[in-house]
């Protein structure tokens, strides 16, 4: 229902906006929540986001809220990131990887999936490392003026 959606998404954002953060800090928190949330190894994004929070002294609730919101997008982007990583470091196994294969391996357990797919996942992480700064720069510069306007 609409009230449930409001309670689950809009209200946490409003609480974060009321915490006295600067538009710059909030924009960086949201940006790094997205970037960390798109890390191509499922189950690791919280650790990546925590590292961002610690390194940049950001707002943990804001970063984690955005991290959780982009989870569906992360799952969709794992295979394209692996394929992009295979462009830098060619691998036949990585170029043939499909989302269904990844889901099947993850359903058997994270450790066994990681063991079988680690080479492909490393290629995905390489692609993420290449794209994250570029996408982060763009996203931060889009969000900052919006946050300045919203927080006035």
Q: What angle do CA 58, 19, 12 make, to 5 degrees?
A: 90
Residue predicted with more confidence, 79 or 19 = 79
Burial class (CB in 10 A: 0-12, 13-18, 19+), 8: exposed
Q: What is the pLDDT of residues 93-129, one digit of tens each?
A: 555 666 677 777 778 777 777 766 788 888 899 999 9
Distance CA 134, CA 123 (A): 18
How is residue 128 written in tokens?
């993420």
Q: What does the pLDDT average to over 74-92?
A: 85
Per-residue tokens: 43: 């189950």
Per-residue pLDDT, 17: 59
Query: What does the pLDDT look like over 19-77, one tens digit per residue?
Result: 667 889 989 999 999 999 999 988 899 999 999 999 999 988 889 989 999 999 998 99
**Cβ distance 95 to 102 under 8 Å?**
no
Better-scored residue on pLDDT, 1 or 138: 138
DSSP state of 90: -
Nearest to 79 by CA among 48, 55, 105, 53: 105
pLDDT of the residue at 51: 97
Please give the residue that has the higher pLDDT: either 46 or 3. Answer: 46
Written as six digits, the tokens of 74 are 């992360």
């Amino acid at each position: 229902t609409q009230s449930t959606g409001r309670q689950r998404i809009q209200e946490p954002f409003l609480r974060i906006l009321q915490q006295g953060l600067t538009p710059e800090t909030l924009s960086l928190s949201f940006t790094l929540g997205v970037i960390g949330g798109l890390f191509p190894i499922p189950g690791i994004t919280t650790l990546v986001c925590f590292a961002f929070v610690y390194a940049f002294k950001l707002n943990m609730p804001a970063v984690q809220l955005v991290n959780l919101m982009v989870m569906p997008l992360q799952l969709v982007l794992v295979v394209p990131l692996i394929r992009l990583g295979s462009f830098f470091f060619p691998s036949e196994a990585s170029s043939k990887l499909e989302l269904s294969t990844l889901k099947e391996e993850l359903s058997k357990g994270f450790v066994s999936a990681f063991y079988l797919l680690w080479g492909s996942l490393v290629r995905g992480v390489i692609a993420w490392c290449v794209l994250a700064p570029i996408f982060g720069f763009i996203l931060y510069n889009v969000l900052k003026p919006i946050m300045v306007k919203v927080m006035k």
